[in-house]
Amino acid sequence: MPSPTVLIVAAYNEADRIQMTLSALAAAFPDARVWVADDGSKDATGAIARGAGARVVRSERVIGKGAAVTAAARAALDETRRENGGAEPVFVFCDGDLGDSARELGALYRAVAEGRAELAVAVFRTRVGGGLGLAVGFARWAIRRRCGLDAIAPISGQRAMGARTLEGLLPFADGFGMEMGMTIDAVRAGNRVLELELDLDHRATGRTPAGFLHRGRQLVDFMRVYFRRSRTRRPTAHGPRPA
């Protein structure tokens, strides 16, 4: 029996791309239950997502990606506990700006469902936009220092994991530190992390004042994650499923 799929889409002011992203996910995962974590969007993101059949967990103000996705993940977990009596579901996380390229995320699901990893992470095959690489470089260094993993895509929001792995990683780190903290915590808990190169596309920030401000905020959140996860912190009791 194949593992059921739960999709959790992080979104903030994605009215122009969320419909395309959800349509692509529906094509890739026709039987999946879809949740959208709407971090206080000021546009029609939530309404469009509901119209597409997604369950929307929306904050009335911006609370940061980590907190918004944590709320949606907990709601999704609660629902699966009530309704699922079979195989453990696989949770696939992604950002709302992937558009049609979200079809590629089936590879992450298969990596977890087939037991090749407890946490599967997508690496963008082609880099789009971006700045000078300082924030991403810091995230790679911080992950290596805190858990020993040499991550290719330390802040990729495209990830998959089983329900038990997800339970052990909640709550996610605040803000943009969500993915970096997730990786550190997963490795420290004994989970296998697998990075897969996929043909994905998203809305990247360029070398503009707004882009540099965004990456500055990311770097601040990454530093918080780094200092809050001291090198002496012990792994949690949660670990990978026995083979």
Q: Please, is 82 exposed, middle or buried when counting C-beta atoms within 10 Å of its C-beta (0-12, 13-18, 19+)?
A: exposed
The pLDDT tens digits for 95-152 are: 999 999 999 999 999 999 999 999 999 999 987 665 568 899 999 999 999 999 999 9
Cis, bond preceding 171 (omega within 30 deg of 0): yes
More confident residue, 241 or 132: 132
* Residue 172: per-residue pLDDT: 98
DSSP 73: H
In 10 A of CB 161, how many CB atoms? Answer: 26
CB 8 within 8 A of CB 69: yes
* Residue 46: per-residue pLDDT: 97
* Residue 215: per-residue pLDDT: 75
Distance CA 20, CA 29 (A): 14
Span 152-177, average pLDDT: 97
Set out the domains of the chain in order of their start, with CATH numbers: 5-228 (3.90.550.10)
Distance CA 188, CA 147 (A): 6
The pLDDT tens digits for 185-237 are: 999 999 999 999 999 997 766 556 666 577 788 999 999 999 999 864 444 43
The pLDDT tens digits for 64-103 are: 999 999 999 999 999 998 886 677 999 999 999 999 999 9
* Residue 133: per-residue pLDDT: 80
CB 162 within 8 A of CB 88: yes
